[in-house]
Structure 1
Amino acid sequence: MARKRPATMADIAQVAGVSRTTVSFVLNDRTDVMIPAATRDRVQKVAAGLGYRRNAAARALATQSSGLLGLVTEIVTSPFAADVIRGAQQRAWEQERFLLIAPSEDEHAMDALAIEKLLEQRVEGILLAAAWHRAISVPDAAKDVPCVLVNCYDEKGEFPAVVPDEVTGGRRAAAALIDAGHERIGHITLTPGIPAQIGRLEGFRAELQESGLGLDDDLVCLGDATAESGYLAGRELLERADRPTAIFCGNDRIAMGLYDAAKDLGLSIPGDLSVVGFDDQEILAAYLRPKLTTVALPFAGMGAAGVSMLTSLTAGRPIQDARVLIDCPLRTRSSVGPVIP
């Protein structure tokens, strides 16, 4: 079966009984030309009936504006990818932009090839999104159009960035345990030196200090973001004679390992031990038993904020802050309870 020929402006003009120029003015929303409302309505109805689609490439050449934004990321297979893409895409739609997504193969430097492919599509700006909060190397090609970094930053500070407020997230974790009456609180960290580990511990320590409790460094154990490190550090903390009654875990996978350690030692959550995680990784936090109270990483919010910043830049409007912090809210579930004497 032969493929149906796409409808053209000439086809619409013939059916609607108007000139091709009139059709062009109507379909390109030219309000500076006097065309009767009835004529505009007739042209639009004929165009819809014929299944007319605008030629985006031709329109971009004519207007010097494609309406396209690019997203380069290595997180397309991560548990958080859908949230970043959903937030960015929704905000792009709201601002009458369309998002093109290109996967990156390089965890440490966003692929120059992916950026080049997006530039070939005449994108007006590019988002670079990382799976975990860190410094990245930005290819020179990204400087050809406005560029915003999401969940990452460049060490030279050349590009605006949207990142999670790790410090406030750490404070929220501490506050949840303090409010439940806990005074002896431990912490299993992420890999030392990364921004998330530094920020979360800083906020956690500051909240405990301001509450008058302080953080006992003997109750801080190093983890590496894995469930195995959560299990091993959990055993170390929970086998102490003066074990903590609550533990803040650097992420939800660490908390999963801690759950297993507590179970092996015959301790119940939250009866004997309260636990708070970080990330709100859906496949873990909502399905652990009991369900995990955790601090959420705002991936959708970061994606949306990145698009808003990029839209301002592509429109030639300056942005107020070169680095925007997005709030990390607490997700209260069932793993935190009061201290039992």
Structure 2
Amino acid sequence: MVTMKEIANKAGVSVSTVSLVLNNRDEGRVKSEIASNVRTIAKQLGYRANPLASSLRTGRTRILGFISEEVATTPYAGGIILGAQSAASQLGYMLITVSTDGKASENEEIAALKRYGTDGFLYAKMSNRVTKAPKSLRGTPLVLVDATDEEGLIPSVEPDEFRIGYDATRRLIDAGCERIAYVGCSELMIAQEGRLAGYRKALEDAGRTFDERLVVNVLNNGPALEAVRGLFDAEHPDGFFCFNDARAWYVYECAARRGLTVGRDISVVGVDNHRVFAETLSPMLTTIELPHFEMGYWAAAKLISLIEDRSLHDLELPETTAAMPPFDAVGSAKIHCTLIEKESVR
């Protein structure tokens, strides 16, 4: 096992200097070139921190708790958890994930994690929403994932819903579509409100007039298909921005029944980059990918910065589809999602 003394001898510095660097307490205390050299040597020698010794010295367990409400059972959970785990591992922490199904279960899981001495918590929701964190988490380092604190006091991260609607509509405008419809969601959600607002703003910026007859808000199954059929027959859109990839399926279905070819006669943009739809719809659906990995990574890294009271300006970020917002963002950090070009826009 490589020791700090070995690293100190090779770097030509004191053991205390190595300790400051490897415990991320070097900022303002150790010259940047010396700190960089110590980290390089530690990596070359294969140094691994001793978690038990570190926890005894700092009073921290280096454990993060990930509390989710149904997130672990959704198709997108893997990306969020993988992102959080990636950041935690990179910064020397372990992530424990639990899924809850109600307030009683939630309080029990939080109490159990606290008994382990968890240093901080990530609190995730199934879809972007305004939420109130449990009282039992107040006073501990906490970051919300895919959610916004109703009081605006807790750091959080979410997709930029307005930019999703704006970018999708702008892509259809740039493709030459003249009558652009929005197939939205009839549930009251932050995503619906933001995406509809982005759609309207993109039309406005292009000198177009918003026409409410080109908007249908639906849930699923038969009624949704009927609403999209009515939209086709009454308004004859040549471009469709869909709230998500699932709703894009109704557009594909209606187009096929009318002898229209997606990507030639009409253009369609979805949201999610959902694997099932992305791999089965033909032609493949141009879509905006939600930043699940990015949200998980940002939230865990932000949480660790709160726990350790340090900047993350020198953190080496992984390659991601969407750019990470700054870690010093105040309030809710919004991620500008990426449009994935495929075959459904002419």
Smaller-chain TM-score range?
0.7 to 0.9
1:296 shift after superposition? 1.2
Which residue number corresponds to residue 128 of structure 2?
133
Which residue number corresponds to residue 160 of structure 1?
155
Residue of 199, 203, 210 corresponding to 1:208: 203
Which residue number corresponds to residue 87 of structure 1?
83
Cα distance in 1 for residues equivalent to 2:162 and 2:198: 4
Equivalent AA in structure 2 for residue 282 of structure 1: R
Cα distance in 1 for residues equivalent to 2:205 and 2:248: 25
1:67 shift after superposition? 1.2
Cα distance in 2 for residues equivalent to 1:310 and 1:244: 46
Equivalent AA in structure 2 for residue 335 of structure 1: S
Residue of 2, 12, 15 corresponding to 1:31: 15
Q: Do 1:188 and 1:233's aligned partners in 2 also have CA atoms closer than 8 Å?
A: no
Which residue number corresponds to residue 318 of structure 2?
none
Which residue number corresponds to residue 286 of structure 1?
279
Which residue number corresponds to residue 269 of structure 2?
276
Query: Aligned pairs, how many?
Result: 296
4+ residue runs over 6 A deviation: 23-27
Equivalent AA in structure 2 for residue 236 of structure 1: G
Deviations 1:240-269 (A, max 9, x none): 2x4111111111111112212222233221
1:95-110 to structure 2, matched below 5 A, reads 95-106=91-102
Distance 1:184 1:196, change over 3 A: same
Distance 1:110 1:135, change over 3 A: farther
Equivalent AA in structure 1 for residue 62 of structure 2: G
Which residue number corresponds to residue 232 of structure 2?
238
Deviations 1:100-143 (A, max 9, x none): 1111213x999222222221221111001112111223111111
Distance 1:320 1:178, change over 3 A: closer
Distance 1:250 1:212, change over 3 A: same
Structure 1 vs Structure 2 CA RMSD? 2.9
Which residue number corresponds to residue 256 of structure 1?
249
1:272 shift after superposition? 2.2
Determine helix, strand or coil for the equivalent of 2:138: helix
Which residue number corresponds to residue 144 of structure 2?
149
1:25 shift after superposition? 8.0
1:230 shift after superposition? 4.2
Which residue number corresponds to residue 344 of structure 2?
335
Distance 1:132 1:97, change over 3 A: same
Equivalent AA in structure 1 for residue 99 of structure 2: P
Which residue number corresponds to residue 121 of structure 1?
116
Distance 1:275 1:180, change over 3 A: same
Unaligned runs of 5+ residues in structure 2 are 9-13, 19-45, 312-327
Q: Do 1:294 and 1:330's aligned partners in 2 also have CA atoms closer than 8 Å?
A: yes
Q: Do 1:92 and 1:99's aligned partners in 2 also have CA atoms closer than 8 Å?
A: yes
Cα distance in 2 for residues equivalent to 1:211 and 1:291: 27
